Amino acid sequence: MKTVTSEKTVTSNQWHTLSPVQVEKSLRSHIEKGLTAVEVIERHTQFGPNELSAKKEKPLWLKFILQYNQPLLIILVCAGAIKALIGEWINAGVIWGVTTTNAIISFLQEAKAESALAALASAVQTEATVIRDGKKLRISSQQLVPGDVVLLSSGDKVPADLRLVKVRDLQIDESALTGESVAVEKQTEVLTPETPLAERTNMAYAGGFVTFGQGTGIVVAIGNHTETGKISQLIEQRVDLTTPLTRKFNQFSQNWLYFVLGMATLTFAVGLGQRSFNDALEAAVALIVGAIPEGLPAVITVTLAVGVARMARRHAIVRKLPAVETLGSATVVCSDKTGTLTENQMTVQEIYVGGMLCAVTGSGYGSEGQILFNQQPVDLKQAPSLKECLVAGLLCNDSHIEQKNGNWVVIGDPTEAALIAAANKAGLRQPSVEKLMPRLDSIPFESQFQYMATLHTAGSQENTGLRIIYVKGSMEAILQRCQQMLDAQGNLTPIVKETLYQQADVMAKQGLRVLAFAKKSMPPTQNSINHSDIETGLIFLGLQGMIDPPRQEAIAAIHACQQAGIQVKMITGDNVTTASAIARRMGFRNRNKKIVAYTGTELAQMNTSELKNAVEDGVVFARVAPEQKLRLVEAIQSRGEIVAMTGDGVNDAPALKQADIGIAMGSGTEVSKEAADMVLTDDNFASIEAAVEEGRSVYKNLIKAICFILPVNGGESMTILISTLLGRELPILSLQILWLNMLNSITMTVPLSFEPKSTEVMKQPPRPANEPFLTGNRIKRILAVSLYNWTLIFGLFEWIRQAPWGSLPLARTMAIQALVMGRIFYLLSISQLLPSLAAKWSGSTESIKSAPAIAAGIVGAVILQIIFSQSNFINQVFSTTPLTLDQWLICFGVSLPMIAIAASINRFDPPN
């Protein structure tokens, strides 16, 4: 027998369009005997093991060096090198210490290896039962080759992509790959080429889980060529994406760098004409050190870290620091449905019996809830037809539920578990009913018949010895076998099929999965059943409609997101009817207050322009394949939106990677977690709204930090430049600038990271995606405060230097102290400390959350400045001098105008 000669033969076919015989012939396999040992060896050599290849990661040393790849850090390293070249090793050491500290912090926060591909590999590694040389063998899934014949049974994980050739009641849970919330019933018939992935019922895909039945399939794809493997390739193509924060900070850094280099060049050039080379170089370096906010990267890192801690307390674990701010700027949240917006627990919500439409309250598999008719609890003694329908659901059932560690666990099929839970809410218990009416025989569910039937002994005394058949299945399969039905009182009446079909259609349009129930009495001698026993004569009992219900807290979260100007869209592998029904219940809507839904088939036919319009109008995208989820995220991003994508399955991983911020569920697959930027520990969509709130607060605190730090750098650089142009002594030395920019700035700026969120933060629309750090008003603020700082430093320096009692060290010391006092007033003007104190004094019961941090920062700055001027050791190192009380008061007096200046600025650029 010839072996497969080309990998293209194995990967290019649409296997679901071929018959089992065609697949067998194409892969040169044999359904009954499998491959021979020789063929296996040849194919293993040709195609390799059945595993996913992981992308080689950067070494740790390279990851650490890349932390320096920031414009501001690069220029600081160069400035330190210049200082070292002219022999000022203390200055050089301080500058290099600052840059190294920033690099270490970033490295520790982001050095976790990207192991998404390794997680994917574990998703498909299992054991498999195969037929080789006509014998049944149990082997590692890694040893599978194309053409192998694999046997599947309940509880197995599908080891590779298979074309099914034999099935017996086979059902496979493919939710991790397709998003389909219900196990898929499999068959072997040929399908059309355009059949979506989630509807290819003659295929079994790697990573799927067999929940019921048995099947046989031929391996058609292994490793990277499986559908799961294709996802791994999509993930690998999307790496190292920047976030809005990193983009804005890089743009800001570049613009500031050009400004600093221009000013430094001018300072050096002018200085050469007035002083020695070393003095001119000193002035240029002093301007570089003064103009570059050395503490800003550290402050940003601390601010983001504080945001990480706050989000963790609200069940959102951040894996990458910039993700904190990114979520705060999100304009669109794309959410998976199953398990994210919904409970991931099938629940009966409506029962139709004898003309009565009953509502079922409660969700999940617990017994909490009631069955209501006209909003009143139903007494089963007064509703015999309802009891019969519930009993049918209990007995015509191969599953059961049990409680473990406080949680209900399904043993079997989730749909059948929903029927058990519905009966429990009416006081019926499966063990008791089964004991009263033991099963004698059954007909398992088969897709070709669309029903399941069980035979039982009658439970009541008057019917002792009689037999009863209970049947459940699709409306079409059950109604064609029924001639009578039970009315509300349990009496037999002629069946009205049109009414029942209409009711089933109404329930289906609500997204409910509808099952029909019937029964038939049999003589006492009947101990077995076959299909002929239920061809006719069934008595229709009722309908039960079930759905995976939405989380109530997620509904509130979606409303909060919409109020904050954030669009929420559902992207799911489930069918469009169910998805639209869930969206309607949860309050989804587009900007025109409508629910527009698209299917994966419709998306596949759209060009780029049409897709961009579809993602603008659509709120539900159903039956989408993994690559379509990725394409949707890209289309939304192409409209300038900041996209947050939630998901929990393998199929979500590429889109999670592509999104500006990927959010995985804590109970989801390891693949989705490793591809995401953030993980929700409570699987609650409501936590996203909380995280958005924290993210917006983090951004506001970052802006405060920037607007606080830059005016000092602006004042210092203006002082150096103008002093050089005028040929004057420098009012402030480079080492003194480092003291201000590092110790003093960080001491007073870090407390801004702990500022509490504003009450209005979620009532404002998202920031424009292209909004820079420095808007027009913020530039005006920075220029105004910088101008005042320059006037304060230069004016006080010149006055003290020319005073009879003044000296050069004293003038510099007093200028610095006056600058710091002005900074304290400025800090109070942009923080929430004073408004909080005012509210407290006016009788507010709210706690002053920012007071400890801001107060500690101010106290710390005052202590540092006292040491700066009053310590003999510091005097020698930094060329300062002690101040008298009168001199301290002079510094305090000249800093007071900052109060009026800050108040004026806050009118056109509010800080909160």
Catalytic residues: 336
Structure tokens at 249: 């900070």
Whole-number Cα distances in Å, 477 to 471, 531, 534, 540:
10, 12, 11, 12
Round to whole Å and give the CA distance between 789 and 776: 20
Q: For residue 419, give every residue at least 6 positions away whose Cβ sits within 8 Å of its Cβ, in sequence order, or none.
A: 348, 393, 394, 397, 472, 515, 544, 546
Residue 702, amino acid: L
Phi, psi angles (nearest 5°) of residue 234: -65, -40
CA–CA dist 307, 661 (Å, integer): 15
Q: Distance of alpha carbon 851 from its chain centroid, rounded?
A: 33
382/377 Cα distance (integer angstroms): 11
Antiparallel, parallel or unpaired: β 184-185 and 127-132: unpaired
Cα-flanking dihedrals φ and ψ of residue 742, to 5°?
-100, -70
CB atoms within 10 A of CB 718: 22
Q: What are the percentages of helix, strand and coil residues in the chain, rounded to 5?
A: 50, 15, 30
Give Cβ neighbours of residue 690 (< 8 Å, ≥ 6 apart). 311, 314, 315, 316
The beta strands (E) that lie in 629-697 are given as 643-647, 661-665, 678-680
Residue 710 and residue 705: Cα distance in Å, rounded? 9
Of 306, 321, 300, 307, whose CA–CA distance to 108 is shortest? 321
| Residue 598 DSSP SS3 | strand
* Buried-exposed string 853-885: b where 16+ CB fall within 10 A, e elsewhere: bbeebbebbeebbeebbeeeeebeebebbebee
At residue 466, what is the residue type? Answer: L
Pair type for strands 567-571 and 620-622: parallel
User: At which residue do the structure tokens 């001639």 appear?
Assistant: 483
User: Residue 290 and residue 256: Cα distance in Å, rounded?
Assistant: 12
For 16-57, give the DSSP string.
GGS-HHHHHHHTT--TTT-B-HHHHHHHHHHH--SSPPPPPP
**Alpha carbons within 13 A on the beta-carbon side of 397:** 31
* DSSP code string of 164-206: EEEEEEEEEE-HHHH--SSPEEP------TT--GGG-TTEE-T
Unique residue bearing structure tokens 């570059």: 292
Give, for 445, the enclosing helix (H) or strand (E). Answer: strand 439-446
Contact 688, 315 (CB under 8 A): no
DSSP string, 479-531: HTTEEEEE-TTS-EEE--HHHHHHHHHHHHHTTPEEEEEEEEEE-TT-----G
Rounded CA separation 304/524 (Å): 75
Rounded to whole angstroms, how far apart are CA atoms 298 and 106? Answer: 9
Tokens representing 275 are 């002083």
Going from the C-alpha of 772 to that of each of 324, 326, 409, 588, 692, the distances in angstroms are 17, 14, 51, 31, 19
Residue 893 exposed, middle or buried by CB count within 10 Å (0-12, 13-18, 19+): exposed
**Structure tokens belonging to residue 859:** 């106290």
